[in-house]
Amino acid sequence: MSLPEADEDLVLLHNPRCSKSRTAKALLEESGVTFVTRNYLDNPLNVHELRDLAKRLDSEPSNWVRKGESVFGRFFLNENSSVGDWIEAIVEEPILLERPILIAGLRAVVARPPENVLDLVFRAGLTR
């Protein structure tokens, strides 16, 4: 699965074990928009997709890595690490990817708080 190109094509990067991710998914369902759920632990993003995601989020990967995960310490990442280093860590350990993330065309948002998904849906003009 590649990342969507059109604003009306929504993809939720989702971890069903995460309460924030479940809440964001429920908000999308309640809003009535059509979206695809991608469980990124079962279907991880590759290097190209993560670089693309950084552009859509307009944010460095260091801002959307879960630094509190136990595996984070293995990578010795810090403010001097390159974008490539951060991305390689996520590729190797997808659990490091912050969740949930909603992608709408060329835009994306980290849904923390989960209501951020509705902001993106509204900006994309997908509300009922």
Name the catalytic one among 7, 9, 18, 41. 18
User: Is 18 part of the annotated catalytic residue set?
Assistant: yes
| DSSP annotation of 2 | P
Rounded-to-5 percentages of helix, strand, coil across the chain: 45, 15, 40
**Per the structure block, which two tokens stand in for 124?**
């994309």
Identify which of 99, 93, 91, 44 has the alpha carbon closest to the alpha carbon of residue 71: 93
Find out whether 14 and 38 touch, Cβ atoms under 8 Å.
yes
Helices (H), the chain: 19-31, 47-57, 83-92, 116-123
Residues recognised as catalytic: 18
